[in-house]
Chains A and B, each alone.
Chain A
């Protein structure tokens, strides 16, 4: 079955760290750029970061650049995001999403995970 499954969310104090994982199945993971997209409670979707299929290229939204680090292990079909120096405004459901095409660059997302909730609070 073609799917993405996120894990690793939870409650963390401001200034703390958390690492999220996204395991892919049903497609050739290494062929596709993968993104993290988040959604604060009751709010719209916000794209966070992207990594190319090879892992050689990344891009981040300004609000997380320098605090979040995306990585992937193609041997494990897994995408990660290391989130450091977390703030209350990082509280959201975090989704991983598969790029619609295999080329590096801006794209839409043709497969989404169910999301994992990150709550930053003291």
Chain B
């Protein structure tokens, strides 16, 4: 199974700050990676797929980068509505696996 490791576990930043979350795969997955946003009481939301493609309707302050084993999700200017937990997921082989999640909070 491919293990997905996210860091940090949590991040606290001010409104307007740039926030970067890292996801590392235990083996190469090319660009078969997605990022999701989970807010309490809301439906999970796909943000990024294919490592860097923005899902329709997602604000452009979100961006994804990387290939192979190392990936990043960046929020260029943190907004109060971005408070959530973010997960990466590999989509190259079964079983599909997720990272452990990164909680983003406002400082």
Q: A residues within 8 Å of B by Cβ?
A: 35, 44-47, 50, 59-62, 95, 97, 100, 106-114
In the complex, A62→B44 CA distance in Å? 24
Residues of A contacting B93 with CB < 8 Å?
106
Residues of B contacting A47 with CB < 8 Å?
89, 95-98
Across the interface, name the chain A residue whose C-beta is closest to B97.
A47
Contact with A along B17-54 (1 / 0, CB 8 A): 00000000000000010101010000111100100000
Q: Are B34 and A108 in contact (CB under 8 A)?
A: yes
Selected from B34, B90, B92, B97, the residue in CB contact (under 8 A) with A109 is B34
Selected from B44, B49, B96, the residue in CB contact (under 8 A) with A112 is B44
Residues of B contacting A106 with CB < 8 Å?
32, 90-94, 96
Contacts across chains A and B counted by CB atoms under 8 Å = 58
Take A47-B95, A59-B95 as given contacts and tell me if A108 and B89 are in contact as well, using a CB distance cutoff of 8 Å.
yes
In the complex, A100→B45 CA distance in Å? 12
In the complex, A107→B96 CA distance in Å? 8
* Chain B residues within 8 Å of chain A by Cβ, number: 24
Interface of A is mostly: strand
B45 to A: closest C-beta gap in Å: 8
Selected from A45, A46, A59, A108, the residue in CB contact (under 8 A) with B49 is A108
Across the interface, name the chain B residue whose C-beta is closest to A62.
B95
Residues of B contacting A109 with CB < 8 Å?
34, 36, 44, 46, 89
In the complex, A111→B49 CA distance in Å? 13
Across the interface, name the chain B residue whose C-beta is closest to A35.
B96
Interface membership of B71, Cβ < 8 A: no
Residues of A contacting B91 with CB < 8 Å?
106-108
A68 to B: closest C-beta gap in Å: 13
Residues of A contacting B66 with CB < 8 Å?
none
In the complex, A43→B13 CA distance in Å? 23
Q: Are B46 and A59 in contact (CB under 8 A)?
A: no
Within 8 A of A (CB), among B59-101: 87, 89-101
